[in-house]
Amino acid sequence: MNQQKKTEHSLNDLIAISRDGQEFYSEAAGKVEDAELSALFRRMAAVKADIVGTLSATVQAVGGKPDTDGTMVGSMRQVYANVRAGLGDTKYAYVSELEESEDRLLKAFDEVVADADTPAAARDAAARLLPEVRSCHDVMRNRKQAMKSAA
């Protein structure tokens, strides 16, 4: 596989997982009745949209075609969260599942950055976005822990 294809493949995986998060946050923002939590979810969806845009531009810059869909795993998690929210504490259900989504995205970014076989263009793009990805992860992890402690 040539460098352009490897870059495209690495970044398209990150794009798809980020898009999952963007869609999931947008949906959750409309389903929770807590205004502050809804605002947080909308803000996180916007961050994911920015990540998708930045990574897509990098894929295009190397001559590739950016991914336009999410992943099957992301879709399944979203359905699971909706069912879970319908059966119990809607706010905690969404925060918990969104935190899991953040775990998945952070792990994927960490793997791209750490993989010695990742082309420099892909590694550099992921490394530039990693602090923002980590920050979003930490926000949701802290929110989940706070909600769990308060329960």
Could you list the residue range(s) of the whole structural domain that residue 104 is in? 3-150
**Single pTM value for the model:** 0.87
d(CA 59, CA 53): 10
Helical packing angle, 90-114 and 120-150, nearest 10°:
150
Mean pLDDT of the chain: 87
Q: What is the Cα–Cα distance from 89 to 111, expressed in whole angstroms?
A: 33
Please name which of 140, 148, 138 lies closest in space to residue 24, comparing C-alpha atoms: 140
Residue 139, CA distances (Å) to 5, 64, 81, 112 in order: 34, 33, 19, 22
pLDDT tens column, 91-141: 888 898 899 999 999 999 999 999 999 999 999 999 999 999 999 999 999
DSSP string, 85-99: HHHS-HHHHHHHHHH
CATH number (domain holding residue 27): 1.20.1260.10
What's the domain count of the chain? 1
SS3 64: coil
Residue type, position 142, single letter: N
Tens of pLDDT, residue by residue over 22-34, are: 988 998 898 888 9
